Structure 1
């Protein structure tokens, strides 16, 4: 076999192991929560050696980020598509953030530590990817808000307004994941209304 063919097979094997690890981790995090899932359980479910996991994610939190980033990326895209066809700015913001609320409701035991790692975790390739998802969502919010927000009137740029809306809503989502406040579409809509009124959007 040529060196090129050997390299190709190695890359395919590596991608296959990553896929198995990600799928096993996602299933276990969803079934029994992040805290109760060990990397040994994930390795066993993925049929890889214990140490193999750390070739793809250097720590358990990085593994959580790796797994959840894939889910969140899909949800962010669904939110973007829904927001594009929403008839009002309020509904567009709620549509963009709605999939994140749905994730928290479906997997609170994984979503809460994921959001913590995104906001406060240590630097790493998977956290960088998570922060890129955040920046992309904030940019989309800014695009939605730009025609509506009077930046001079509220004392914040459109970018700052978008980041304020995102941060506040994520904080509420996190409180919901921890069981400290209700989390659902109706609660999201109400909070969006309060925030946008504060920015002069009626």
Structure 2
């Protein structure tokens, strides 16, 4: 288990550095995306905020912004998600046709509490097109592994319930589900918008 953990962490660190080494001024038409060929992502079938089964194939032909988190997160998740979705909103204003090709997705790593109804209330706060996905404990574990997301439940002092420690990644995937780049979830909305536009054709 520890070896798998260290391997995933190492991979995420490497791809983060690769992403940082690509200057924003480069021509993305000829530049290879920083995550090109990385073993990240894959198929899934989960449940959306309306209680409907959704598969990765339903997003075929669409770019995807994917963020993993949980609705009971007291600080990190809502800040990250707001930055990503505000960035998408800026990109929509600057290039509406391009932004329409993008599907934002929030996947819960806390399926025991994040049912469809809870997800619906949550995602509606961030972007009108944001889809929330949940599933069984095993389904979420399988998806998180494919996307190199590490998470762990823990009791937290001062909280009546548990928290979930987890990897923070804002992924951009291509129309065929291929990994493209990491989005700067901890940057400004404009930085997120610029990175979206840089890799979305």
Larger radius of gyration: 1
Which one has a larger percent helix, Structure 1 or Structure 2?
A: 1
Which one has a larger percent strand, Structure 1 or Structure 2?
A: 2
Range class of TM-score, shorter chain: under 0.3
With normalisation by structure 2, the TM-score equals 0.26
